[in-house]
């Protein structure tokens, strides 16, 4: 059976009066890429810091690899790799030395370590920059170095806190692919982000957070099934008489519709032939139309429907 | 593990620009500025100016007269004496033409107007002579043919012994104080390296700290390794600084230079501990902390007389306790004691003060950085 790698039970964390985590629970199995998705300020970093025993918390229990996590759980710590949301490298050490330094905190054997560092350098694609100082690296490359420092020792559990913030698209793709590769090689991944596209792209399971609470959890398909909307049909039209509009709105499975700026949006929930039925109505009324397309629900729709606010609106 | 961290802390420290600027270039520049500024004073004070006195002979004292004349004919006379009567001598003393009157008779008596180093030297001259006079007198009676020889050795002994007493081998000039303060200041700059340690090791102070706390290396090991690296780095800086002052600028630290080095290094350990302590108790970001430390250090330097020479004396008068706890003053006093006093008592007292302060700072620093989890990051 799958082993539980991380178990967070009923975690409560307060900063003064602010409740940053409100009875938050989580269970992550071996081999998952677990996504923690939520807008800025929803408590993702706080969760990670509690998980790592950096932060004290008011209530709750945290287990990693089946053992309770404490600040002195060195046997647990040696199998964890962390990539913090802020870049943590020494400015006065080169790329290679930085990786060696952090890797050396985990692996004593010099030869073994050398191999690990070479792997890590290759993994993040910094082969041409090993002698560079961090100041000379672009934002994307710096992030990659940050990742290399966190994963060089080949940990079993890798935690990445918003590793793609302020990163160019090329580096971002490379990072996302890299994470999937690490996972293929056997690591369990916890990935936090407020970019739902990324989470959708790579995560096998996702927990959506808002204001310190878990609002939904599951695979992306499961999450999307949780909400009413299954597809949105959009048709470009020059005109739409009231009669035809009402006819469309009353079709089976259609729960909402709107006509604005020459665009008809039909929101459907379930059913199989929604598009055909809508087009039939248009033909019957002899209405010409332009482009027709359908949109599948995104995690944003999930978030929107559950919390009533769009995930996007809350971004930086 | 200790060595691994130490190695990289040293590497990173040696490449740090802050360190190069504040701990190496700055003192070299400032030292040079001092040297140039004090250059003329230095030339003047280095040569010993003989002390003008008057000798009033109350009764004949051949031996003493001979000694005084011998001294007067030396290349750099210790005293220049004029023989005159009591009234004239007193007038000369009042006018400040001379610094003391020696009445020679059965016994020697000394009159001075002020109190100071030169007066102390005169006093000791009179005392030293009186001790030796008896031996000389005996020689006159038993072997008059050897009188000249006896007088000469009497002169040499007296002069050399009383030159040594208050001033020993060191150079008492005020300007050396500035260089002592300069070394003390560089030592105190170690607080910046000391502070960086805490930032690099504490999760709530830096991302690096957070990463370090997540590693399987116990915090005690990493903190001690970093402290050790700071001590070593600071030692290197102190050696460069003292060597530069002593051998390039040729500042005269007296003939106990070999003790100036360890004293400077010890002082720098005090500096590192101070920074380590402030770093662990003040929960603000690194930039603010650096500013706090620099300001504090500069203030302490100011009170110990780095900028205004007589500041320390002012403090000694108004708030003497402050000189005992101001680390800069303690460090520079340490050098001073080394230079001025023949014995090591005061020097050791200062060293002990330093040791106690170091222990207090480090203990408090470790206690407050030992916290394992933070309430807020
Ligand atoms: N050190 C702190 N002191 C007070 N409030 C904090 C602190 N750190 C975070 N918070 C608050 O806790 C909430 C969660 O923050 P965080 O975990 O950083 O969110 P996320 O990582 O999801 O953006 C936010 O409202 C934030 O303002
Ligand atoms: Mg965050």
User: Which residue owns the Cα nearest ligand 1 atom 27?
Assistant: A41
* Alpha-carbon distance B215 to nearest alpha carbon in chain A (angstroms): 6
Residues A246, A136 share a domain: no
**Residue A309 located in a structural domain:** no
Q: How far is the CA of A240 from the centre of ligand 1 (A)?
A: 49
* Confidence band for B165, pLDDT divided at 50, 70 and 90: very low
Q: Domain of A82?
A: 4-219
Residue A243: give its domain's CATH number. Answer: 3.30.70.100
Query: CA B109 to CA B358: how far, in whole Å?
Result: 50
- Mean pLDDT is lowest, of A64-73, A104-113, A154-163, B308-317, for B308-317
Residues A213, A259 share a domain: no
Q: For residue B93, what are the contacts with CB-CB under 8 A and spacing of at least 6?
A: B54, B99, B100, B101, B111, B112, B113
* Alpha-carbon distance A65 to nearest alpha carbon in chain B (angstroms): 15
* Domain layout of chain B by residue ranges: 2-42+173-369, 51-161
Residues A122, A16 share a domain: yes
Closest CA to B5 of B207, B219, B265, B192: B219
Q: DSSP letters along B213-260, please?
A: HHSSS-HHHHHHHHHHHHHHHHHHHHHHHHHIIIIIS----GGGHHHH
pLDDT, tens digit, 9 for 90 and up, residues A116-142 = 999 999 999 999 999 999 999 988 899
Ligand nearest to the CA of A47: 1
Residues A157, A29 share a domain: yes
- Ranked by mean pLDDT, the top range of A159-163, B179-183, B372-376 is A159-163
Query: CA B58 to CA B44: how far, in whole Å?
Result: 36
User: Which residue owns the Cα nearest ligand 1 atom 24?
Assistant: A41
Describe the crossing of helices B327-340 and B286-303 by its angle, rounded to 10 degrees: 40
Smallest Cβ–Cβ distance between B211 and the set A75, A102, A108 belongs to A102
**Residue A312 located in a structural domain:** no
Ligand nearest to the CA of A43: 1
The pair of structure tokens assigned to B186 is: 């560089």
Query: CA A74 to CA A70: how far, in whole Å?
Result: 9
Ligand nearest to the CA of A13: 1
- Mean pLDDT is lowest, of A89-98, A235-244, A260-269, B341-350, for B341-350
Residues A260, A150 share a domain: no
Residues A259, A198 share a domain: no
Contact residues, A window 13-32, toward B, CB-based 8 Å cutoff: 15
Residue B132 pLDDT: 77
* Confidence band for A61, pLDDT divided at 50, 70 and 90: very high
Is the pLDDT at B40 greater than 60? The verdict is: no
Residue B98 pLDDT: 87
- Chain B residues in contact with A52 by the CB 8 A cut-off are 210, 213-214
- Ranked by mean pLDDT, the top range of A147-151, B88-92, B180-184 is A147-151
Is residue A166 left, alpha or beta, with left meaning phi > 0 and alpha meaning psi from -120 to 50? left
pLDDT, tens digit, 9 for 90 and up, residues B217-226 = 988 888 889 9
Query: CA A36 to CA A201: how far, in whole Å?
Result: 13
When the candidates are 2.20.70, 2.60.40, 3.40.190, 1.10.10, the CATH number that belongs to B51-161 is 3.40.190
* Confidence band for B327, pLDDT divided at 50, 70 and 90: confident
The pair of structure tokens assigned to B83 is: 């023989």
CA distances from residue A51 to B67, B132, B167, B266 in whole angstroms, order as listed: 89, 85, 67, 42
Residue A291 pLDDT: 92
Query: CA A231 to CA A271: how far, in whole Å?
Result: 10
* Confidence band for A265, pLDDT divided at 50, 70 and 90: very high
Closest CA to B362 of B224, B192, B206, B189: B224
Q: Is A110 exposed, middle or buried (0-12, 13-18, 19+ CB in 10 A)?
A: exposed
Domain count for chain A, please give it. Answer: 2
Q: Where are the alpha helices (DSSP H) in A12-51?
A: 44-51
pLDDT, tens digit, 9 for 90 and up, residues A216-232 = 999 988 998 888 888 89
As residues whose CB is below 5 A from the ion ligand 2, the structure lists: A 44-45, 85
Pocket of ligand 1 (CB under 6 A): A 15, 18, 20, 38, 40-46; B 376-377
Mutation test of ligand 1: which of A43, A49, A165 has the most ligand atoms closer than 8 Å to its C-beta? A43
A296 interfaces chain B, CB cutoff of 8 Å: no
Residue A170 pLDDT: 86
pLDDT, tens digit, 9 for 90 and up, residues A8-21 = 999 999 999 999 99
Smallest Cβ–Cβ distance between A93 and the set B11, B375, B377 belongs to B11
CA distances from residue A141 to A29, A179, B293 in whole angstroms, order as listed: 31, 16, 34
Count of beta carbons in the 10 Å neighbourhood of residue A14: 15
Residue B200 pLDDT: 83
Residues A211, A249 share a domain: no
Is the pLDDT at A314 greater than 50? The verdict is: no
Is the pLDDT at A88 greater than 70? The verdict is: yes
- Ranked by mean pLDDT, the top range of A34-38, B51-55, B187-191, B203-207 is A34-38
Is the pLDDT at B164 greater than 70? The verdict is: no
Residue B75 pLDDT: 67
Residue A202: give its domain's CATH number. Answer: 3.40.50.300
Query: CA B275 to CA A240: how far, in whole Å?
Result: 75
CA distances from residue A283 to A204, A276, B80, B191, B354 in whole angstroms, order as listed: 42, 10, 129, 82, 95
**Residue A307 located in a structural domain:** no
Is the pLDDT at A161 greater than 50? The verdict is: yes
- Mean residue pLDDT of chain A comes to 91
Residues A181, A58 share a domain: yes
The pair of structure tokens assigned to A309 is: 């606010």
Residue B271 pLDDT: 92
Residues A251, A190 share a domain: no
More confident residue, B86 or A30: A30
Is the pLDDT at B42 greater than 60? The verdict is: no
A149 interfaces chain B, CB cutoff of 8 Å: yes
B-side interface with A, Cβ within 8 Å?
Answer: 1, 4-5, 8, 11-13, 15-16, 203, 206-208, 210-218, 372-377
Is residue A234 left, alpha or beta, with left meaning phi > 0 and alpha meaning psi from -120 to 50? beta
Query: CA B238 to CA B253: how far, in whole Å?
Result: 15
More confident residue, A190 or A316: A190
**Residue A127 located in a structural domain:** yes
* Ligand 1 atom index nearest CA of A47: 17
Q: Pick the last residue of a domain from A173, A190, A219.
A: A219
**Residue A196 located in a structural domain:** yes
A54 interfaces chain B, CB cutoff of 8 Å: yes
Residues A201, A91 share a domain: yes
Residue A311 pLDDT: 66
- Ranked by mean pLDDT, the top range of A42-56, B125-139, B332-346 is A42-56
A158 DSSP 8-state letter? E
A82 interfaces chain B, CB cutoff of 8 Å: yes
Residue B108 pLDDT: 83
Beta carbons of B211 and A53 less than 8 Å apart: no
Residue A36 pLDDT: 95
- Ranked by mean pLDDT, the top range of A70-74, A165-169, B329-333 is A70-74
Which residues in B272-282 are b (16+ Cβ under 10 Å) and which e?
A: bbbbbbbbbeb
Beta carbons of B8 and A82 less than 8 Å apart: no
Residue B4 pLDDT: 95
Contact residues, A window 127-146, toward B, CB-based 8 Å cutoff: none
Residue B309 pLDDT: 65
Is the pLDDT at A177 greater than 70? The verdict is: yes
Is the pLDDT at B41 greater than 60? The verdict is: no
pTM of the model: 0.76
**Residue A44 located in a structural domain:** yes
Chain A interface test: which of B211, B213, B225, B374 (most A C-beta within 10 Å): B211
Bridge partner list, A308: none
Q: Find the mean pLDDT for residues B39-67.
A: 72
* Confidence band for B46, pLDDT divided at 50, 70 and 90: very low
Q: How far is the CA of A162 from the centre of ligand 2 (A)?
A: 7
Residues A184, A72 share a domain: yes
- Mean residue pLDDT of chain B comes to 82
More confident residue, B73 or A23: A23
Residues A258, A197 share a domain: no
Residue A93 pLDDT: 95
Q: Which residue has the tokens 């399971």?
A: A205
């Amino acid at each position: 059976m799958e082993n539980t790698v991380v178990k967070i039970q009923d975690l409560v964390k307060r900063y003064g009066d602010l409740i940053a985590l409100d009875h938050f629970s989580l269970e992550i199995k071996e081999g998952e890429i677990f996504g923690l998705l939520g807008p800025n300020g929803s408590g993702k970093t706080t969760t990670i810091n509690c998980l790592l025993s950096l932060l004290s918390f008011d209530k709750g229990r945290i287990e990693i690899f089946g053992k309770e996590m404490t600040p002195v759980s060195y046997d647990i710590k040696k199998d964890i790799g962390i990539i913090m949301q802020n870049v943590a490298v020494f400015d006065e050490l080169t790329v290679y030395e930085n990786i060696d330094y952090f890797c050396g905190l985990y692996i004593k054997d010099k030869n073994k370590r050398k191999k690990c560092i070479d792997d890590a350098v290759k993994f993040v694609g910094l082969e041409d920059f090993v002698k560079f100082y961090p100041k000379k690296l672009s934002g994307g490359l710096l992030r990659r170095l940050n990742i290399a420092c966190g994963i060089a020792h080949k940990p079993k559990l890798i935690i990445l806190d918003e590793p793609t913030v302020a990163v160019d698209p090329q580096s971002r793709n490379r990072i996302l692919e890299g994470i999937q590769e690490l996972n293929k090689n056997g690591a369990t991944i916890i990935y936090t982000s407020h970019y739902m596209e990324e989470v959708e792209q790579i995560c096998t399971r996702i927990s959506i957070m808002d204001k310190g609470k878990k609002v939904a959890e599951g695979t992306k398909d499961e999450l999307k099934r949780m909400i009413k909307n299954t597809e949105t049909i959009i048709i470009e039209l020059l005109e739409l008489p009231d009669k035809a509009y009402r006819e469309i709105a009353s079709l089976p499975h259609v729960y909402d519709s709107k006509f604005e700026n020459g665009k008809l949006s039909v929101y459907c929930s379930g059913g199989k032939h929604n598009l055909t039925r809508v087009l039939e109505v248009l033909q019957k009324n002899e209405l010409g139309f332009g482009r027709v397309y359908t949109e599948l629900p995104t995690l944003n729709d999930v978030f929107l429907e559950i919390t009533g606010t769009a995930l996007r609106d809350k971004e930086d | 593990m200790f060595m691994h961290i130490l190695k990289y802390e040293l590497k990173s420290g040696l490449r740090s620009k802050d360190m190069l600027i504040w701990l190496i270039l700055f003192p070299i520049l400032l030292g040079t500025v001092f040297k140039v500024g004090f250059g003329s004073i230095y030339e003047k004070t280095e040569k010993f100016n003989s002390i003008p006195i008057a000798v009033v002979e109350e009764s004949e004292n051949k031996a003493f007269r001979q000694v005084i004349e011998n001294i007067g004919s030396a290349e750099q006379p210790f005293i220049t004496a004029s023989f005159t009567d009591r009234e004239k001598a007193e007038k000369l003393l009042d006018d400040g033409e001379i610094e003391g009157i020696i009445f020679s008779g059965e016994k020697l008596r000394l009159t001075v107007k002020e109190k100071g180093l030169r007066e102390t030297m005169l006093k000791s001259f009179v005392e030293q002579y009186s001790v030796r006079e008896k031996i000389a007198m005996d020689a006159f009676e038993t072997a008059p043919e050897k009188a000249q020889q006896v007088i000469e050795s009497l002169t040499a002994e007296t002069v050399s012994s009383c030159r040594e007493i208050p001033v020993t081998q060191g150079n008492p000039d005020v300007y050396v104080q500035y260089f002592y303060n300069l070394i003390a200041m560089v030592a105190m700059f170690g607080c910046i390296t000391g502070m960086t340690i805490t930032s690099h090791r504490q999760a709530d102070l830096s991302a690096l700290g957070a990463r370090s706390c997540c590693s399987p290396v116990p915090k005690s090991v990493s903190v001690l390794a970093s402290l050790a690296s700071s001590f070593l780095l600071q030692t290197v800086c102190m050696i460069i600084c003292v060597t530069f002052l002593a051998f390039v600028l040729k500042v005269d630290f007296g003939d106990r230079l070999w003790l100036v080095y360890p004293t400077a290094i010890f002082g720098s350990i005090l500096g590192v501990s101070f920074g380590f302590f402030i770093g662990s108790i003040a929960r603000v970001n690194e930039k603010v902390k650096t500013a706090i430390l620099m300001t504090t250090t500069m203030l302490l330097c100011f009170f110990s007389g780095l900028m205004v020479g007589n500041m320390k004396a002012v403090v000694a008068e108004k708030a003497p306790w402050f000189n005992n706890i101001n680390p800069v003053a303690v460090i520079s006093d340490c050098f001073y004691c080394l230079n001025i006093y023949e014995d090591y008592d005061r020097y050791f007292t200062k060293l002990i003060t330093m040791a106690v302060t170091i222990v207090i700072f480090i203990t408090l620093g470790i206690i407050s950085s030992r916290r394992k989890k933070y309430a807020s990051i």
